[in-house]
Structure formats: structure tokens, C-alpha cells
Structure 1
Amino acid sequence: MTAMPRLLECLKNPQFARLYLAQTINLVGDAFTWLGLALLAFEVGGGKAAAILSGALTLRVMAFAILSPVAGAIADRCDRKQMMILTHILRAIAVCLFPFVTQIWHIYALVLALNVVGAFFTPTYTATIPFVTGKDDYPNAIALSSTTYQLLGVLGPGLAGSVAAFVGTRSVFFIDGLTFLSAAFLLLTLPGKLAVIQPQDERRTIGKMFKDLGLGTNCLFSDPPIRYALFVQLVAAISGAQILVNTVSYVRGTLNLGKVEYGWVMAAFGIGATIASVGLGNLDRSYRKTKFVGIGIILLTLALLPANVANLGGLLVLWAIAGIGQTLVNLPTQTLIADRVAVEIQGRVYGAHFAWSHLWWAFSYPLAGWMGSHFPAQSFFYSSLISAVLLILVRFAFNPTRGRMANNGLWHEHEHIHDEHHAHHRSTNGTIPTHRHLHFHPELTS
């Protein structure tokens, strides 16, 4: 009997299998949403379609950057299953309103609502993966989720386009709504709650809520390997935004090729990312994450260097390499957080990471647009040089092997008791107060 591939072994866990299937259906829904939105923007805005989509992307990343830390804090304090079900139902309602759009501002309002809700789903889902899979399976589970995301990024638009051609632009949103409701039903079938056990003696105050929001960012910036990977993601966002924003102008304008060839080039980027996800998923979980992050950003930076002089065949190869590099940066970063952060605070850390990584893109998209407008013949080349300089600075400023906390260990919330040696902190009613703070426990070695 043929053994199950390492990447798929995590599906033996029935809880994760249902969670993963719900996420896969959710990703199909996302493909329908964004393809339908592009067609609707052209239908409503005509020549303003590009500006409408640019505004929608900006609203998307800003909603994620602002609200993801809030989502992470809530995910650590409530039933994540209920939270994910609610977000799917609200997204279904939002997309089913798109067929009634008649004005441009209607599109912006619905996109904002859709992504406000999406900002609460994605970090919650990511933090739930290690919670339901356990220590041994979560690297493969994260890799499988990433592989599916990349694969549906390639196949999803084609499927959505075929459906839209058959049922019409506006009707496709009703099918989109059904995908979100189906995912919500799957999540509803998960047994029990998906809630992290937290200390019962803590009252939720405004001050503690803001402390929760800051804890995730504090952990990201205090841990040398995670901090290094986060800033490498800034470099990767600058290069990745160039690919997403300026490839269409290069293929259609400089190379004078058609929509089909543009689709091939972007598919090559997605296929490269998929190959890297599968490869990482089949590696032993002990591989050094920061090493792969470094390899990934070097591949991504080098892929852009000759792109402005490449023909179609060369661009297909370069963008496949770039896709591999992008995944080698992003996927080990997610696994690093699961490796080095205790489960009871992972929601807050993943929420903060989701916010910061999307903030990098909020900066990178306008930069890519400016470079594409002012340096259309050298945009990829200049972006590669900027990325190389930034990478050198990041490597020297945020060396992932520097300091005691670069060793293996675990971040968690540590209870601190103000005993008799801290009498100045004693409360007025005579009780000894306590508080909780972020603490790193290095792994003991023999």
C-alpha cells in the first residue's frame, strides 16, 4: 500500500481535515469575489476600473493592518469556531449585496465591509491550525494550507471566470455567497469549542484590551528569528508588489503580448509558489526556518534583476523562481511563530504578524505604481537593487542568531506576583497584586 505523502498526513486529524476543507471552500469564494469585483468595476466604472480596483486593494490591506491585531486578541479570548462561523455568514451577506451595486461608492463600501470581516477570519484561522493539529503536525498543516492558497490562486480565477461567463457577472456573487455559507456549515460540524484556556481571574478592562493588542507586536519585535523574518517580508513585499502591479504593463506593453500570455506569466508565479509550499511541507520539521527565509529573499531579488530585458520564455522562468522565493519567505515565518510562541497567545501574535505584513504591502503597492509610472523600462531592475540594499541592512540590523533569545525556546505570558519585596505595589485592600507579562523560556539542552 502506498504511503500517504508527508504533506497530507495532517489530514488524518479529522478536526483539521474539516477546518482545511472549510478554508479551501473559502478560498474558492475569494476567487469568485475578486474576479466578480473586477468585472463589476468595469461594468460600473468603465475606464475608471483600474482606479477602482487600486482603491479596493488599498482598502483591503489597510483593513487587515488596522484590525488584525484586534482579531488576534479576540481569538485568544473566545471560541474561535464561533468567530469563524460568524465571519463567514457576514461575508456571505456582503457578497450577496454586490449584484445590487449601481454606484462606485457602493463598491468601496462593500469592499471595506467584506475586508473588515476578512481581517477577523484569517489570523483566527492561522492561529487555530497549531491549536487543532498539535506539535507534530502543524508544520505540514500550515504548508498544506499555503499550498492550497497558491494553487487556488492559479486555478481559482479560471474557474470563477468560467462560471461568470455562464451565469453573468452579477449572478456570480450569489454563488460566491453559497461558498461562504458552505464553509460556515463545515465549521459548525466541528466538535466542541475551539477556545484557548486562559486564566479565569482576569477581568477584561480597556487597559487589558490594549495590552493584548500590544503583546503580539511586542513578541514579534522581541524575538530575533521572528523579527528578522518579519523585516525580510518587507523586502519581499517590495519585490512582490512590483510583480503584481507592473507585470501586466510589461507583458501587454513592452512585449506586445495578449491577455493569455499575461495569464501564463502570473500562473508561473503561482506554480512556483505551489512547488515551494509542497517542498517545505515534505521536509522534516527540524529544518532551520531563517535559513530558508534568507534563501527565499535572495531568489526573489535575483529573479527581478534581469526581468526588464526578458522575453516571454525568460519571464516565465524568472516568475516561477520568484514564486518559489516568495513562499520560502512567507511560509517558514508562519511556522516560526508556531514553533516559538505558546498556544495561549498565538492568536495575538498571528494577528499582529498579519497586520504588519499587510502594512508592508500598503507601502509597497504605491511604490510599485510610482516606479512603474516613472521608470517603466527599469522598474524591475531598480526594485531588485532596492531590495538587495534593504536585505543587507536587515541582515546586519536584525541578525537572527544574535542574543540569548535566538536559541530555541517559547514565548508565553508569565504571571508576576508582587510579594513582600514589592511592598510599594501592595493594593489598598491588603491583597498581593499580580500581573502578567511576556516572557521567553529558552529550551534547555543537555
Structure 2
Amino acid sequence: MIDVLRHPTYAKLFSAQVIALLGTGVLTIALGLLAFDIAGGDAGIVLGVAMSIKMIAYVAVAPLTTAVLARLPRKPVLVGADLIRAGVAMSLPFVTEAWHIYVLIFLLQSASATFTPTFQAVIPSVLPDEGEYTRALSLSRLAYDLESLLSPMLAAALLTVVGYHQLFVGTVAGFCVSAVLVIACRFPHIETPPPTRFLDRLTRGARAFWASTELRGLMGLNLVVATTTAMVIVNTVVLVQGHLDRPQPDVALMLGAYGAGSMLVALVVPKLLDTVADRGVMLTGGIALPILLLAAAAVMAWMEHTGQWTVLLIMWFLLGTATSAVLTPSARLLRRNSSAHNRPAVFAAQFSLSHACFLITYPLAGILGAAIGLPPIALVLVGLGILGALFTALTWRTSADSSKTAEQRGS
């Protein structure tokens, strides 16, 4: 897998991605401390609104900026997004009101919603070989999982010697280094798409999704992943400290188990996809997720506290493996069903549609979960996950049946 880093352009882009991810993770922690300074006991409300703004920016801005910037070269788009993020991070230490945070978070996440799909759309051109591209996807998945583990540890280490305002300075430096690495890359030539109407550019990605049965099926798996991810991200702390009455470090341990499962699958996926079709791997993961979440709901409802902890740790690990089985190969479908001209729009559509699912499942897991309890909300999310998995299975089965029919007619 590491062999792919011998490609100099990809190595620089991957380094830029990792540095930007670490910067974003540290920035999130510093933002929480800033919110507490400004709002005190209402910091949770401030952060909740900020995270909602983040998701809205991801859903709405990604296709919009892709349409506006469609004819610009990819490198200045990536560099500009990094510099905007650096500028926002530089401004955060001077914030004195909650609404300042909201405005800056919208700008920050809008820049991220521009950077991420553009970055993802460049990689297939940098690594045209499918085997190398698959290994790059696994590295990218590992980077996301490691960031979730390393950012809190890095922030904690820094906070022992500096105040949280200095974390913003480090984040600025990270985004600037990311921009420098992108500038140092030699991008392959990608022809500028022909001029079209703005509405056509805005809807290009969504139309590509609807026209492709593979990508329509991917929409169902986006919903499946969002249901279990919402349960893990929103309710792990409630489960560990409220339901099981365990200490704070066990929250990190449980999230670590989830991340370890995800990383394990990311490591084995390149070899696995040499012998198994990517859609088969993804659908297996998509079917496993609601089953595992249903089992977790049963454990939360009926097992004694003494036995719950180990079993739930194993289930969180398995949820991580199934999630990674869906997410790691998914970009192969996007690459296969796009061209160099519409690839940024297709990746932006996936970015937007997948986060639209989180806009549904995060409030469900949090607000409804607080109202009805963890086992019942797990069942609600299981129901949504089953719907998504069924949609994908039926869509891809129809696609396979159509292909067989076409082959029989041709013969």
C-alpha cells in the first residue's frame, strides 16, 4: 500500500491531506474551548449550532462552488480553499460573540466543502491505474481514522505547554503548509470543460448520480452509513457514561475500537478487491451495519452491565469494519461512472448527498435519542438502515439483471 507514495505528486497531495486533517481536528477541539469561554454553560448550544452550520455548508456549498469554479484549474482552487481556511483559523482567536463563530464556521466549512471533493476528483487523474488508486483510497481512509485518534492526543499534548489560542496558530500553519504542498505538485493536464449554463453545471453531479444505477445504489449505502455513524458519534459518550456508568477514558477506548475496525478493513481492502467485486464488498458492509446495530440495541436493553462492556466494544469494532467496507471502495464507483470533465461535479454530489443523510440522522440520534432512550433510537436507525440497504440491493440487482439481458440479446 505504501508503494503508492513513491508517486511524487500523490505523495505531496496525501501529505497535504493529512496535515489539513490534523489541522481541522485540532481546530475543532480549540473551537470547543473557545465556545466555553464565550458561552459558558451554553457552550453545547453554540457547538450544536456550529456543527449544524457545518453540515448545511457541506450539503449546499459543495455543488454550488463546483459549478462556479468548474472552468478553473484544480490547483488554484485547492490552494485558495486552504488559504481561506487559514484566514478563518487566524480570525478565531479574536472572536467575542457566538454569532462570530457561526459566520467563521460557515466560511471554514464552505472552504472545506470546496477543497475535499476537488481533491478527491484530482486523484484519479494523478493515479490512473486502478490498483494504485485503490491503495490510495485505503491510505485516505486510514488518514481519516488516524486523524480522529491523533488530533485529540496532539491537542492534549499541546495544551500542556500552551493556551488554546495558540492551537489556532498551529492550525493556520497547517493549512499554509498544505497549500505549499499543493503548489509544489505537478498536476496532470485536465482539459477545461466546455462552457455551459450555470444550472447545467449545478445539477451535473446529481444528474450523473441519477443516470447511473451504480451511483443510485451508492445513495442507499450513504444512508446506511449515516445511521450507524450517527449512533456512534452522537451517543457513544451517552452509552459509556450514562448507560454503563463508566469513566471518561472509556469513551475514547470505545471510539478507538470503532476506528481500529475501520483501519483494519482499509488495510486489507486493496488485496480483497483483487478477487472480490467492489459492489459485493460494499453491499456486504451495508447489510451488516443494521444487523450489528440491532444486536447492539439488544445488548443495551437486556444484558447485565458486567457483560455489556466487552460485547459492545466488539460490536463497535465490527461497526467500524463494516463502515469501512462501504466507504473505502466507494470512490471506485465514482471514478468508474465519471469522466475527467464531470468528475469534480460527481465527487461534489457524493460529498453533498452523503452529508445530507447526516443532517437527518444526527438530529435523530441526538434529540430523539435523548427523548426515547438509546435502545429505541437504535431501532429507529436500524429501520432507516434497512431501507437504505434494500434500496441498494434492489437497484444493483436490477442493474445486474439488465446487463445479463443485454448480453443474452447480443449473443
Q: Please say if 1:184 is aligned against 2:179.
A: yes
Q: Deviations over 1:346-366 (max 9, x none)?
A: 111001111111111111111
1:75-94 counterparts in 2 under 5 A? 76-94=70-88
C-alpha separation in 1, matches of 2:84 and 2:254: 34
Deviation at 1:268, TM superposition (A): 1.0
Supply the AA of the counterpart residue of 1:145.
S
Cα distance between partner residues in 1 of 2:21 and 2:288: 27
Question: Separation in 1 of the partners of 2:85 and 2:26?
Answer: 13
From 46, 61, 65, the equivalent of 2:55 is 61
Contact 1:35-1:157 at 8 Å conserved across structures: yes
Cα pair distance change 1:155/1:400, threshold 3 Å: farther
Q: Distance in 2 between matches of 1:218 and 1:135?
A: 26
Q: Structure 2 unaligned segments of length 5 or more: list them.
A: 301-307
Amino acid at match of 1:216: G
Match of 1:149 among 130, 144, 148: 144
> 1:24·1:148 contact (CA, 8 Å) conserved in 2?
yes
Higher RCO (CA < 8 A, seq sep 6+): 2
Structure 1 CA distance, aligned partners of 2:311 and 2:280? 27
User: Against the structure 1 CA distance between its residues 75 and 327, is the aligned structure 2 distance closer, same or farther, given a 3 Å change threshold?
Assistant: farther
The letter for the 2-side match of 1:142 is L
Match of 2:303 in 1: none
Deviation at 1:196, TM superposition (A): 2.0
**1:74, CA displacement in angstroms?**
5.0
Unpaired segments ≥5 residues, structure 1 = 1-6, 408-441
Q: Cα deviation per residue 1:312-339 (whole Å; 9 max; x = unaligned)?
A: 2222111111111111112222111112
Provide the secondary structure at the position in 2 that maps to 1:306: helix
Would the aligned equivalents of 2:209 and 2:215 in 1 still touch at CA under 8 Å?
yes
Please state if 1:25 is matched with 2:19: yes
Give TM-score scaled by structure 1 length. 0.84
Query: What residue number does 2:395 align with?
Result: 398
Q: Which has the higher strand share?
A: 1
Matched, 1:159 2:148: no
2:35 aligned with 1:41: yes
Pair 1:85–1:232, CA change in 2 (3 A): same
Is the CA contact (8 Å cut-off) linking 2:258 and 2:317 kept in structure 1? Answer: yes
1:293-328 per-residue CA deviation (whole Å, 9 max, x = no partner) reads 111122322222232435222221111111111111
Q: Is 1:386–2:383 an aligned residue pair?
A: yes
Aligned equivalents of 1:334 and 1:194: distance in 2?
A: 19
The counterpart of 1:70, out of the listed 61, 64, 70, is 64
Choose the corresponding residue for 2:320, options 318, 323, 326.
Answer: 323
Residue identity matched to 2:244: L
Give the share of equivalent positions with the same residue, in percent.
28
Pairing of 1:368-383 with structure 2 (within 5 A):
368-379=365-376, 381-383=378-380
Q: 1:378 and 1:253 mapped to 2: Cα distance? A: 13
1:379 CA displacement:
3.8
- 3-state DSSP of counterpart to 1:342: coil
Match of 1:333 among 305, 330, 336: 330
* Counterpart for residue 410 of structure 1: none
**Segment of structure 1 superposing worse, 221-230 or 111-120:** 221-230
CA positional deviation for 1:397: 4.7
RMSD: 2.2
The TM-score, its normalising length taken from structure 2, stands at 0.90
Cα shift at 1:242: 1.4
Aligned CA distance change for structure 1 residues 318 and 75 (closer, same or farther; 3 Å): farther
Is the deviation greater in 307-316 or in 274-283?
Answer: 307-316
Report the Cα distance in structure 2 between the residues aligned to 1:91 and 1:404, rounded to whole angstroms.
47
Partner deviation per Cα, 1:147-194 (whole Å, 9 max, x = no partner)? 111112112221122213321111110111100001111111113x55
Pairwise CA distance, 1:73: 3.5
Give the alignment of 1:192-271 within 5 angstroms: 193=187, 196-198=190-192, 202-203=194-195, 208-271=197-260
1:422-441 map, 5 Å = none
Q: 1:393 to 1:203 in 2, by over 3 A?
A: closer
Residues in 2 aligned to 1:203 and 1:307: alpha-carbon distance in whole angstroms? 51
Please name the residue that 2:305 is paired with.
none
- Contact 2:361 2:381 survives alignment (8 Å): no
Describe the SS at the equivalent of 2:55. helix
What is the distance in 1 between the residues matched to 2:28 and 2:367? 24
Confirm whether residue 299 of structure 1 aligns to residue 292 of structure 2.
no
| Equivalent position amino acid for 1:212 in 2 | R
